[in-house]
Chain A
Amino acid sequence: MVSASPEHHLRRSQLYRIHQSAGAYFEDQDGTLSVSQYAGNADELGQARRLGLADLSTLSRIGFKGHGAPAWLHTQGVLLPEQPNQTLLQTDGSLLLRLSAQEVLILRALHPASALITQLQNQVSSAAAQHAYVLPRADSHCWLALTGEYAAQTLAKICGVDMRLHKFAQGDVAQTSVARVNAIVTRYALEADTPCFYILCDVSLAEFLWVSLIDTMLEFGGQPIGLATLRQLQPTKPSSPS
C-alpha cells in the first residue's frame, strides 16, 4: 500500500481529489496510482458484492481501429469475438471488447502482468502499416467498474438499454447513453455471483459520471471501492476462453 499522493505522478485520474477526500489509499499500477481501498469501510468486499463503484481510469488499455485491424490482431495472437458488441477474455487475463467489425478495445486484467497491451503498444507503427490504427483509449476514456447485486438496478435508473442479468449476459457489450453521456458498457463477472459492469465514457466526463453514479447508487447503499477489493473478486487464474 502506498501513501504517496497522485500529485507526485505524471498521470493522474480526473477523480483523484474525490478519492482523496473519501479517504483513499493508493497503490502503484502501470507507473501511476490507483485507489487500492478506502478508509472507513470495514467490509469493502461485502460492499463490492452488494454495490460498489471503482475508478480504474489509470490502468492501461488500448484500442485499434481500421480495416486491417482484425487481421493484424490475429497475427498478434489476439482472440476476437465473432460478432461486434461482444467481449472475450484473452489468455493473459485482459478483456477484448469488439466494438465494431473493425474496432476493438482491450482492457488490462485487474491483477498485474497483463502482457498483451504492452506487446501491442510496442508495435503500433507496424500495425499502422497493416491498416490497424492505435487508439489512445487510456486517455480518451475513463474506466469505471460497477459491481454487486444491485449493479443492474443502478444502471436501470440511468441507461435505456435493458441490462438486467437475464437480458445482458456475461460478455455482452452495449455502446449507448449512460446518465446522458455516451458510454461503452460491458458485463464481465469477476466471481460467479457478483455481477460487474465496466463502464467507459469520455474522460472529460469522468467526474460527472462518477458523481451521478454515486448519487444513483444511494438508494441501494452503494459506496466506492478500491482495486484491492476488486481483485479479491477476481479468480487469480483466468479461466480459459470458451
Chain B
Amino acid sequence: MTNNRLPLPFGSLLDRESTVNFSFDGKPYRGFMGDSIASALAANNQHLLSRSFKYHRPRGILTMAGQDANTLVQLPANPNALADREQLRNGMTVTAQNVSGSLERDWRAVLGLFSRFLPVGFYYKAFFKPKGMWEKWVPIIRKSAGLGVIDESHQPGYFDKQFAFYDIAVIGAGPAGMAAALQAASTGAQVLLVDENPQLGGSLNYARLDAEGNAATALLKKMRSDIAACDNIVAMTDAVCNGWFADNWLPIIQGSRLFKVRANQVLMCVGAMEQQAVFRNNDLPGVMMASAAQRLMRLYAVRPGNRAVVLAGNNDGYAVALDLLDAGVEVAAIVELRAQPKYNKVANALLRRGVTVHTGQAVYQALKGKRGRLTAVDVRKIVSQGKCADTGEIIHCDLLCMSVGFTPTYQLICQAGGQLSYDDDSAMFSLNQLPANFHIAGSVNGYWQLDTVVADAQRAAMMATNTIGKVDVEVPNTIAEPDADSPNFNWPIFAHPKGKEFVDFDEDLQIADIVNATQDGYDHVQLLKRYSTCGMGPSQGRHSALATARLVAASTNKTVAQTGVTTARPPFAPETLGHCAGRSFYPARRTNMHYRHLEAGAQMLQAGVWYRPAYYGPVGAAQQCINNEVHAVRNNVGLMDVSTLGGLEVRGTDAAEFLNRIYTFAFIKQPMGKTRYALMTNEAGVVIDDGVACRVSEHHFYVTASTGGVDQAFQSMLKWNAQWQLDVDIANVTSAWCGINIAGPNARKVLQKVCPDIDLSNTAFPFLGFREGHIAAIPARVIRIGFVGELAFEIHVPQHNGEALWDALMKAGDEQDIKPFGVEAQRVLRLEKGHIIIGQDTDAMSNPMEVQMSWAIARKKPFFVGSRSLIELGKMPLQRTLVGFVVNDPQAPIPLESHLVLQGDQMVGRVTSCNYSPTLGKPVGLAYVPLPAAEPGCKIVIRAADGVLVTAEVVTLPFYDPDSLRQEV
C-alpha cells in the first residue's frame, strides 16, 4: 500500500488480508480492517486531521487514545467522531470539522496572529455590552467555532439496555486488570472484565517492558489464554464504563447497548493517561505522546515519522526510542529533561545504540514546516524551573515523542468519592480515601513496574474477594512503597514570550491564558475552568488537568494538591441520546373497551398514563362532535368509558371509622346501599382528591377516586393506617373494574333492557343509590351518580367484561340512538353543572371553603386528616373563592385555563376551567377571584390570549339545572 506500514509483528489489530476503502475530505484512501480512521490516514501520510477550536491551527494525532479533540472528524451521521477510536469501515465518508475553506488552507487560521487580542475571557469581556448584544454575536461566534454538523434526516438505530450482576467488576483490562480478574476468579467469584479497547491487554499491547522487546507479548499471550479458560470471567472489549453511581452501579456501553451493571466489588484498574510537555508550538502535527507513537507502531503498523526526537523526562522515553529504531525510524536525539537521569536496563540498552542524549535540556519550541507539520525542534538547556537558555540547537525532525509523565485516570474513582492528592517528590497525583467495596490497582495506584503492578492487582483482588467472603486470606494494605522512580518530570512547562504553548488543545488555551485567569481573580480551579473554559472541551481535562493544576498552584502560591482538579462528572466518554433512552418504553394504560373507541372513530388523548377518548369523530370537526355529544347527553342518552376512575375496597370492622378519618364527610351512619361524596384533604387542609364512597355492607365500602389521584390516595391511606392500626384492609382495585356511565333522560329506558335483576325506578333506586346485579348477564355494581347532571347510572363490571358490557349497552341503546361521549364533552357537561375537577380547579393551596365545599366537611367528627388545619383556616378571612362566570359578548375570545383575572394592572385571580357551553350558548367557566368580586353580577376582567381583555360576569353556580331536578328523576 504505502511504505508507511511496518511489517509483522507490528500491527496487532490489523487484518492485512482485508482492505478498506474510505474517503477523507473528498480524497479516496485505503486502509486495513482493524485500522482506526486516524491510523489509516497516518499510514497514508495524512497527518493533518483537523483545525483547532479557536485559532484554526492545524492539528494531528496527539494521544491515539481518544483523549484529545485533535482527532474529531465528521461522519455522515455522527459529528465529533474520534478518528483515533473510530474503527475504519468500508465506504466510510470522513470529513474534517471546524474548517473555513479547506483543511489545508483554513482562512480563519489568521486568527492565530491576533491571539493576543483574544485573551482569556475575551467573549465575556467583548460581547456582553451593550445589553442584548450577546444574542446578536452568538450565531457569528458559533459559526467560527462550529463542531460538526447534525444529519437531520438521520434515523436512530435500535438501542437497548440490559441489567447485569457480578461479584466483582474489573474496569480496565491492562496487566493490572487482567491479573486482578484472574486472581478474583480463582476464588470462584463471578467476574466482569471491561476494556474500552478492541482487545484485552492495555499497555501490554504497545508498551516496551524490556530491552529485547518481547516480555510484554509473552505475558499478554499467557494472560489472555488464562482468561479465556475461566468460565467465571466475562470479558467485554470495546466497552466503556461511563460512570460510577451509588452502590457500585456502573453504566457500561458496548455497541448500541447500555449495560446497567451492579457489582458487589469494583476494582478500578484504569491505568494512567500520558501528559504532554508544554512549550511553544507543542500542538504541531508530528508532536505526539510517546505512547501515541507506540500505539501507531504496535497496534496499527504505522511508522509515525522518518526522523524522530524523543523528549524524555523518564526512562519510558528510551523504550520508545528503541521501538522507533526497531521500526526503522531514525532517532536524531533524546532531549532529556532530567539533569541527572537514573537509567534502567532499557535506557542503557538504548544508550548502547549510540543515540545522542541532550541531558538537562528541553524543547523550547517546535518549528513549523510545510503544511503546518513539525520540521525541527529548538533544544535548549534548562536554566531553572520552566526557564531555558537564550540560545540552543536546532534539530531537524518530523516526529517529536513526548514522554514526560502521566496522570492517573482519576475520573471514575473521584466519582466514587476518591480524593486526589499530589506528591511533590513524584510530581504525581495519587488517589486515596476510597469508599467501601471499591479498590484501585496498578498504575492508577502509583505502580509502574510490571511486577509491582501485578502484585498490587492481586492484592486488590484478594481484598475484594475477602470482603464478599469467597476466601479469607491475609492481605497487606499496600504491597510495597509506590515505585521509587516516578515517570513524572516535575515541571515540563516552558513559557515562550510569543506564547502558543498549549495547555489545553481542545480550547486552544496557552500558559498565559491560565496565568491571566488567576490574575483576573479566578484563582480557584473550578472558577478558572468556567472562565477560561480550560478542561471544558471534549477531552474534559484528560491532557490538561495536571499542567493546569501546576500552573494555577504556582501562580497562586498554593500546592498542587490544594489546587486539585475540577470535578469529573459522568459520562466519562461521550454517549449518545440513544444509549440513554434505550428502547422506546411508554407504559400506556388501556381499558378493556379501548378498541371499541377506536372503531367508533375516537380521537384518543392521554389522561395521565391512560388512553381515553377525547371525542368521537374527525379531528377537523372536533367542536361539532363535542357539541353533538353534549346534546345527546342533555336530550337523549350517551355513554362514557369511566374505567380509568380509581377504585378502592375498604373492608373490615373499622371500615367506616377509617373513611371518617381519611375523608372530610361523615360515614359512620351512612346507610347500606347508599353513596356519599368523599372529599380528601391533606394535613394542611388542602383538597387533594375526591370520589364517592358506596356502602356495600356494614364493614365494606367501595370507594372511587380520581383517575390521576388514586395511586396517591391509596398509598396515603396505607401510610395512615400503618400508624392508626385500625382493623381495616384497603385494596386498590382500579384496574379490576371497567366502568361505563350511561347518562341522559333516556338512560333508564336503555338500561332496563339489559338489567333484569335491579329495579331501576327512581323510588326503588334513588339518586346516590348503590346496587349489585347483572347487566347483560355480567355481574355489575351500579351507582346512581353522574358528574354530568343528568339521570345517570354508573356501571362497574369486572375488567375482562368491559368490552362485552360496551357491546351490550350499544346494542340496547341502538333503538334510542345512544351516543358515546368522550372526555371533552364530559368536561363541558360537568362545567355546566358546576362540578369541579380536583387538580384542575384546585391547586396546591385550595381548601374546601375556597371551592365552596364547606358542606362536605363534618365538623363534629373528633378527627379527620386536615381537620385541625381547616379549623385554623376557618378563623381567617377567605383570600379568594372559586366562582362561576359567563362571557356574554359573543365576539370575545374564549378565555383558557390559567388566564389571569385582572383588577387594573393587578393580577387578582385566574381561570381554572372555561368552555363554550352548547346548552347555554355562551362560554362558561370557573375562576379564582378575591371575595369582593365574588358576588353574582360582579364584572371581572380576564386577560385572554394575546393580551385581549375579556369582561365576564360572575354568576351563581351551577350554570345549569340549579335545583338538580334532572339528575334525580
Which A residues form the contact surface with B (CB < 8 A)? 7, 9-14, 17, 32, 57-58, 65-67, 128, 131, 133, 135-141, 156-157, 159-160, 162, 164, 167, 179-181, 202-208, 212, 215-216, 219
Give the chain B neighbours of A137 by CB distance below 8 A. Answer: 736
- Contacts A12-B592, A202-B589, A207-B590: A57 and B165 contacting too (C-beta < 8 A)? no
Let me know if A136 and B583 touch, CB within 8 A: no
The 3 closest A-B pairs by CB, nearest first: A140-B736, A204-B589, A136-B736
Q: A12-B801, A162-B262, A180-B585 are in contact. List 13 more A-B contacts (CB 8 A).
A: A7-B807, A9-B804, A10-B776, A12-B800, A14-B592, A14-B594, A133-B651, A136-B737, A138-B798, A139-B737, A139-B799, A156-B164, A204-B610
How distant is the Cα of A11 from the Cα of B777 in the complex, in angstroms?
A: 11
Contact residues of B between 254 and 274, Cβ < 8 Å to A: 260, 262
How distant is the Cα of A2 from the Cα of B195 in the complex, in angstroms?
A: 56
Let me know if A135 and B165 touch, CB within 8 A: no
Let me know if A14 and B729 touch, CB within 8 A: no
Digit string of B789-804 for contact with A (CB within 8 Å is 1, else 0)? 0000000001111011
Digit string of B581-598 for contact with A (CB within 8 Å is 1, else 0)? 001011111111011000
- What is the size category of the interface that chain B forms with chain A? 35 or more
Digit string of B160-182 for contact with A (CB within 8 Å is 1, else 0)? 11111100000000000000000
B735 within 8 A of partner (CB): yes
How distant is the Cα of A141 from the Cα of B800 in the complex, in angstroms?
A: 10
B717 within 8 A of partner (CB): no
Contact residues of B between 637 and 657, Cβ < 8 Å to A: 643, 649, 651-652
B733 within 8 A of partner (CB): yes
Let me know if B162 and A157 touch, CB within 8 A: yes
How distant is the Cα of A234 from the Cα of B586 in the complex, in angstroms?
A: 34
Let me know if B804 and A139 touch, CB within 8 A: no
How distant is the Cα of A139 from the Cα of B164 in the complex, in angstroms?
A: 33
Let me know if A128 and B700 touch, CB within 8 A: yes
Give the chain A neighbours of B651 by CB distance below 8 A. Answer: 66, 128, 133
How distant is the Cα of A133 from the Cα of B733 in the complex, in angstroms?
A: 12
- Which residue of chain B is the closest to A141 with respect to CB atoms? B735
- Contacts A10-B804, A156-B163, A208-B587: A66 and B652 contacting too (C-beta < 8 A)? yes
Give the chain A neighbours of B587 by CB distance below 8 A. Answer: 179-181, 205, 208
Give the Cβ gap from B537 to chain A, nearest Cβ, in Å.
35
How distant is the Cα of A128 from the Cα of B586 in the complex, in angstroms?
A: 38
Give the chain A neighbours of B583 by CB distance below 8 A. Answer: 212, 215-216
From the candidates B585, B700, B798, name the one contacting A139 in the complex (CB within 8 A): B798
Let me know if B731 and A131 touch, CB within 8 A: no
Give the chain B neighbours of A57 by CB distance below 8 A. Answer: 800
- Contacts A10-B778, A65-B729, A140-B799: A202 and B735 contacting too (C-beta < 8 A)? yes
Give the chain B neighbours of A140 by CB distance below 8 A. Answer: 733-736, 799
B757 within 8 A of partner (CB): no
B935 within 8 A of partner (CB): no
- Which residue of chain B is the closest to A8 with respect to CB atoms? B804
Give the Cβ gap from B166 to chain A, nearest Cβ, in Å.
10
From the candidates A58, A67, A205, A208, name the one contacting B800 in the complex (CB within 8 A): A58
Let me know if B800 and A131 touch, CB within 8 A: no
How distant is the Cα of A10 from the Cα of B583 in the complex, in angstroms?
A: 35
Let me know if A204 and B735 touch, CB within 8 A: yes
- Which residue of chain A is the closest to B798 with respect to CB atoms? A139
Let me know if A136 and B798 touch, CB within 8 A: yes
Let me know if B590 and A204 touch, CB within 8 A: yes
From the candidates A131, A202, A203, A215, name the one contacting B652 in the complex (CB within 8 A): A131
Digit string of B770-790 for contact with A (CB within 8 Å is 1, else 0)? 000000111000000000000
Interface CB pairs A-B, < 8 A, 15: A10-B801, A10-B804, A11-B798, A11-B801, A12-B801, A67-B729, A139-B736, A139-B798, A140-B736, A162-B165, A202-B735, A204-B590, A204-B610, A204-B735, A208-B587
- Contacts A17-B595, A157-B163, A164-B165: A11 and B800 contacting too (C-beta < 8 A)? yes
Give the Cβ gap from A211 to chain B, nearest Cβ, in Å.
10
Give the chain A neighbours of B736 by CB distance below 8 A. Answer: 135-137, 139-140, 203
From the candidates A14, A128, A162, A215, name the one contacting B590 in the complex (CB within 8 A): A14
Give the chain B neighbours of A138 by CB distance below 8 A. Answer: 798, 800
How distant is the Cα of A135 from the Cα of B590 in the complex, in angstroms?
A: 21
Let me know if B803 and A12 touch, CB within 8 A: yes
B727 within 8 A of partner (CB): yes
How distant is the Cα of A180 from the Cα of B652 in the complex, in angstroms?
A: 33
How distant is the Cα of A159 from the Cα of B262 in the complex, in angstroms?
A: 13
Digit string of B576-615 for contact with A (CB within 8 Å is 1, else 0)? 0000000101111111101100000000000000100000
Let me know if B800 and A139 touch, CB within 8 A: yes
How distant is the Cα of A138 from the Cα of B797 in the complex, in angstroms?
A: 13
How distant is the Cα of A148 from the Cα of B774 in the complex, in angstroms?
A: 42
Let me know if A136 and B165 touch, CB within 8 A: no
Let me know if B163 and A160 touch, CB within 8 A: yes
Q: Which of A9, A156, A167, A216 has the most CB of B within 10 A?
A: A156
How distant is the Cα of A139 from the Cα of B799 in the complex, in angstroms?
A: 5
How distant is the Cα of A133 from the Cα of B652 in the complex, in angstroms?
A: 9
Give the Cβ gap from A65 to chain B, nearest Cβ, in Å.
6
Give the chain B neighbours of A14 by CB distance below 8 A. Answer: 590, 592, 594, 800
Q: Which of B161, B583, B595, B735 has the most CB of A within 10 A?
A: B735
Give the chain B neighbours of A162 by CB distance below 8 A. Answer: 163, 165, 262
Give the Cβ gap from B440 to chain A, nearest Cβ, in Å.
26
Give the Cβ gap from A154 to chain B, nearest Cβ, in Å.
10
- Which residue of chain B is the closest to A129 with respect to CB atoms? B699
- Which residue of chain A is the closest to B778 with respect to CB atoms? A10
Q: Which of B591, B729, B807 has the most CB of A within 10 A?
A: B729
How distant is the Cα of A17 from the Cα of B590 in the complex, in angstroms?
A: 14
Digit string of B321-338 for contact with A (CB within 8 Å is 1, else 0)? 000000000000000000
Digit string of B705-737 for contact with A (CB within 8 Å is 1, else 0)? 000000000000000000000010101011111
Give the Cβ gap from A106 to chain B, nearest Cβ, in Å.
16
Let me know if A167 and B590 touch, CB within 8 A: no
How distant is the Cα of A210 from the Cα of B55 in the complex, in angstroms?
A: 56
Let me know if A13 and B163 touch, CB within 8 A: no
How distant is the Cα of A157 from the Cα of B778 in the complex, in angstroms?
A: 40
- Contacts A140-B736, A212-B585: A203 and B799 contacting too (C-beta < 8 A)? yes
Contact residues of B between 750 and 782, Cβ < 8 Å to A: 776-778
Give the Cβ gap from B164 to chain A, nearest Cβ, in Å.
7
Give the chain A neighbours of B799 by CB distance below 8 A. Answer: 139-140, 203-204
- Which residue of chain A is the closest to B808 with respect to CB atoms? A10
How distant is the Cα of A131 from the Cα of B653 in the complex, in angstroms?
A: 9
Give the chain B neighbours of A12 by CB distance below 8 A. Answer: 592, 800-801, 803-804
How distant is the Cα of A140 from the Cα of B610 in the complex, in angstroms?
A: 15
Give the Cβ gap from B683 to chain A, nearest Cβ, in Å.
27
How distant is the Cα of A11 from the Cα of B803 in the complex, in angstroms?
A: 8
Give the Cβ gap from B114 to chain A, nearest Cβ, in Å.
54
- Which residue of chain B is the closest to A209 with respect to CB atoms? B587
- Which residue of chain B is the closest to A12 with respect to CB atoms? B803
- Contacts A133-B731, A136-B733: A157 and B161 contacting too (C-beta < 8 A)? yes
- Which residue of chain A is the closest to B737 with respect to CB atoms? A139
How distant is the Cα of A180 from the Cα of B737 in the complex, in angstroms?
A: 23
Give the chain B neighbours of A204 by CB distance below 8 A. Answer: 589-591, 610, 643, 735, 799
How distant is the Cα of A11 from the Cα of B733 in the complex, in angstroms?
A: 18
Give the chain A neighbours of B699 by CB distance below 8 A. Answer: 128
How distant is the Cα of A229 from the Cα of B918 in the complex, in angstroms?
A: 57
Give the chain A neighbours of B160 by CB distance below 8 A. Answer: 157, 219
Give the Cβ gap from A169 to chain B, nearest Cβ, in Å.
15
Give the Cβ gap from B798 to chain A, nearest Cβ, in Å.
4
Q: Which of B589, B733, B777 has the most CB of A within 10 A?
A: B589
Give the chain A neighbours of B649 by CB distance below 8 A. Answer: 133
How distant is the Cα of A138 from the Cα of B779 in the complex, in angstroms?
A: 14
Give the chain A neighbours of B734 by CB distance below 8 A. Answer: 140
How distant is the Cα of A24 from the Cα of B595 in the complex, in angstroms?
A: 19
How distant is the Cα of A12 from the Cα of B594 in the complex, in angstroms?
A: 12
Let me know if A203 and B588 touch, CB within 8 A: no
Give the Cβ gap from B192 to chain A, nearest Cβ, in Å.
13
How distant is the Cα of A66 from the Cα of B729 in the complex, in angstroms?
A: 6
